[in-house]
Amino acid sequence: MSNQYNILGIDPGTHRLGWAVVTGSTQHPQLLKSGCLDLPPRTSSSSYLPTIYQELKTIISTYHPTVAGIEKLFAQHNQKTVISVAESRGVVLLTLAEAGIPVFEYSPNTIKSTVAGTGASTKIEVERMVRLLLNLGNAKLLDDTFDALAIALTVQILKKL
């Protein structure tokens, strides 16, 4: 008897939050569902943070993830962006904690290395590998969604789920 894991990958941003649920095994990963919460750029944090919370609760109740992965916050020159992303990450981490879902955090280099073979991989190389691993063909997805898929695959590969 094998355990079936639904792995939620999340790429939090200021006004866009990519998400993806991957299932299957490391040898045969399968995309269950993915998307991107896309809010207008000038939406206030008092408006978009509760939206992230509610949308993530809906994703959790619909797809029942057993584990989640999120990108670690990395240093940026724009402090305003770092603060906004940190707020978004906080809401995501709180929502996952409330649902009792274990969270694994990875640096961008770890994600790139795990999915594409080297921490110096470009976004295009990571996207190409995500397409190949999940048999996505030419599906049109936003960068944020590809990032969430790469995060979910990283959890699946590194945790051998």
The pair of three-digit structure tokens given for residue 74, joined into one six-digit string: 């990395």
Task: At 137, list the tokens.
Answer: 């063909």
Instruction: Please name each of the domains of the chain with its CATH number.
Output: 7-158 (3.30.420.10)
In this prediction, residue 45 carries a pLDDT of 87
The burial class, CB within 10 Å (0-12 / 13-18 / 19+), for 158 is middle
- Gap between the Cα atoms of 28 and 30, Å rounded: 6
State how far the Cα of 106 lies from the Cα of 124, in Å rounded to an integer: 19
| Residues belonging to the active site | 11, 71, 144
Tokens of 101: 């879902």
Residues in contact with 73: Cβ distance below 8 Å, sequence separation at least 6, in sequence order: 82, 85, 86, 89
Q: Which residue has the tokens 């991957």?
A: 22
- pLDDT per residue, tens digit, the chain (161 aa), is 346 899 999 999 878 999 999 999 989 999 999 999 998 888 888 889 999 999 999 999 999 999 999 999 876 667 777 888 899 999 999 999 999 999 999 999 999 999 999 999 999 999 999 999 999 999 999 999 999 999 999 999 999 99
Neighbours of 146 (CB within 10 A): 26
